[in-house]
Chains A and B, each alone.
Chain A
Amino acid sequence: MTAGSLILEVKHVSKSYSENGKEFRVLEDVSFEIHDRDFICIVGPSGCGKSTLLREIVGLDLPTSGEIRFEGKPVQAENPRISMVFQSFALFPWLTVLENVELGLEAHKVPEEERRGKAKKYIDAVGLAGFENAYPRELSGGMKQRVGIARALVMDPTLLCMDEPFSALDALTAQNLRDEILQLWTNPDIPPSAVLMVTHSIDEAVYLADRIVAMSPRPGRIVKIESVDLPRPRNRKEPEFYGWVDEIYSLIV
């Protein structure tokens, strides 16, 4: 397997909520690792807790038990080395594309000249050059998500987390964006070192990932971690592709 350095360790993480006196177990004893140059997809039926798990990794939520270590240290929110792309884009409607992308840099006190230059570089990299002064409402869904991606990448993250980033887009735009993500991924100039993506589409996971973490329905447990060794770019029409999809499907059902 990949012998890159260890970036993230998820150790026996469980999460439960109590509501009206009853306890809901959402995640149960989840453990896996992410190394340098990993592209990992977590797949599972809805309600299996995969988004919750992602939020715990990013630091927005705390596990009930177990621990998550990033680069050897416990995870904290606002860690600039972990960035996130949201399913609903989460762009600030009153900020331009440029201002949205710069936001994280502004929060970390990067001086204006420098952050402007960096932001423009990544806006160009996602194909949005020319739209720097546009507002989110002037953009299509695919473009909004590109802003989200640029915003995440500009922070130079070690780990890029994506929460069902294409599920709010139409099929054509989504496919186009997936390919561009792969292009960015293979570009050595562009971070991140590793990608962790949550999705409910097995097709998508097999298309993109090096390793797939298959989760069971609630309470979410890891059923199996598969390494997909198809060469990229992958063709969804090839029988091998179908084979993988079928196998993953049988795991999560």
Chain B
Amino acid sequence: MPNSPPANEPWKLLADMHPIAKVSVGQILGLVEAIDEVGGSADVATISQEVEMDIDRLGPIIDAAELLNFVKVAEGDLTITELSRKVLHANVRERKKIIRDIIDDVPIFKQVMEMAKVAGRPLSREEVLGTIAAQVGTHNADDLFDALVYWGRYTELVHYDSESEQLTILMPSQ
């Protein structure tokens, strides 16, 4: 995988965003399970055959899994981490909490949350897109926004109304 981010700063890749934008939680967890089933470590080709998905489709999922620290990638071999073992055996709600703790630290999320606090009202899609585009350019802004909404909703940090295109940050109810 090109450009692996430094191990303790996975969120740097998030700023570039492409992988996680089109990948769902289910796919990431499915990948982790598939690796677990063959013993916890395998090379990409094997996994690709196991799940009957070609490398093009698998790539973004692997990137996203790596981002969230669920999978370690080294010389074409995928290994699941302690964290992902924990996630595999957690129930649906515990998984959310684990992922929420990771997402919470991502700069983009933090930035949008600041915006919302300062504004004191729901943000419109245009406003958030503008801020995002300033960081990553207009080309990727839409994808990043969708990812923000998706992961934000999943971790219950964000409320988005697609009809009125209003984004609200939910105060974390830990």
A and B touch in the complex (CB under 8 A): yes
Of the listed residues A124, A131, A134, A171, the one surrounded by the most CB atoms of chain B closer than 10 A to its CB is A171
- Contact check, A129 vs B26: say whether CB atoms are below 8 A apart: no
- Contact check, B155 vs A171: say whether CB atoms are below 8 A apart: no
- Contact check, B92 vs A127: say whether CB atoms are below 8 A apart: yes
- Contact check, A176 vs B92: say whether CB atoms are below 8 A apart: no
- Contact check, B96 vs A175: say whether CB atoms are below 8 A apart: no
The interface residues of chain B lying within 8 Å CB-to-CB of A171 are: 30, 51-53
Q: How far is the CB of A82 from chain B (nearest CB, A)?
A: 25
How far is B25's CA from A142's CA once the two chains are assembled, in angstroms? 9
- Contact check, B52 vs A176: say whether CB atoms are below 8 A apart: no
- Contact check, A130 vs B34: say whether CB atoms are below 8 A apart: no
- Contact check, B52 vs A237: say whether CB atoms are below 8 A apart: no
- Contact check, A237 vs B96: say whether CB atoms are below 8 A apart: no
The interface residues of chain B lying within 8 Å CB-to-CB of A176 are: 26-27, 29-30, 33
Closest to A125 in B: B92
- Contact check, B53 vs A170: say whether CB atoms are below 8 A apart: yes
- Contact check, A142 vs B52: say whether CB atoms are below 8 A apart: no
Interface residue A126 (Cβ < 8 Å from any Cβ of B): yes
A residues apposed to B, CB below 8 Å:
124-127, 129-131, 133-135, 138, 140, 142-143, 170-177, 179-180, 183, 235-237
Interface residue B153 (Cβ < 8 Å from any Cβ of A): yes
Partner of B154, one of A124, A130, A133: A130
The interface residues of chain A lying within 8 Å CB-to-CB of B53 are: 170-172
How far is B92's CA from A91's CA once the two chains are assembled, in angstroms? 22
The interface residues of chain A lying within 8 Å CB-to-CB of B37 are: 235-237
- Contact check, B30 vs A173: say whether CB atoms are below 8 A apart: yes
- Contact check, B154 vs A177: say whether CB atoms are below 8 A apart: no
How far is B53's CA from A167's CA once the two chains are assembled, in angstroms? 15
From 8 to 32 in chain B, residues with beta carbon under 8 angstroms from any chain A beta carbon are: 24-27, 29-31
B residues apposed to A, CB below 8 Å:
24-27, 29-31, 33-34, 37-38, 51-53, 57, 61, 91-93, 95-96, 149, 152-156, 158-162
The interface residues of chain A lying within 8 Å CB-to-CB of B149 are: 138
- Contact check, A183 vs B92: say whether CB atoms are below 8 A apart: yes
Q: How far is the CB of B11 from chain A (nearest CB, A)?
A: 21
Q: How far is the CB of A19 from chain B (nearest CB, A)?
A: 36
How far is B155's CA from A17's CA once the two chains are assembled, in angstroms? 50
Partner of A130, one of B29, B52, B156: B156
The interface residues of chain B lying within 8 Å CB-to-CB of A177 are: 26
- Contact check, B27 vs A133: say whether CB atoms are below 8 A apart: no
Of the listed residues B24, B33, B38, the one surrounded by the most CB atoms of chain A closer than 10 A to its CB is B24
Closest to A238 in B: B37
Q: How far is the CB of A132 from chain B (nearest CB, A)?
A: 9
Q: How far is the CB of B174 from chain A (nearest CB, A)?
A: 15
The answer to whether residues A133 and B161 also contact, given A142-B26, A173-B27, A236-B37 and a CB cut-off of 8 A, is yes
- Contact check, A172 vs B162: say whether CB atoms are below 8 A apart: no
How far is B162's CA from A237's CA once the two chains are assembled, in angstroms? 43
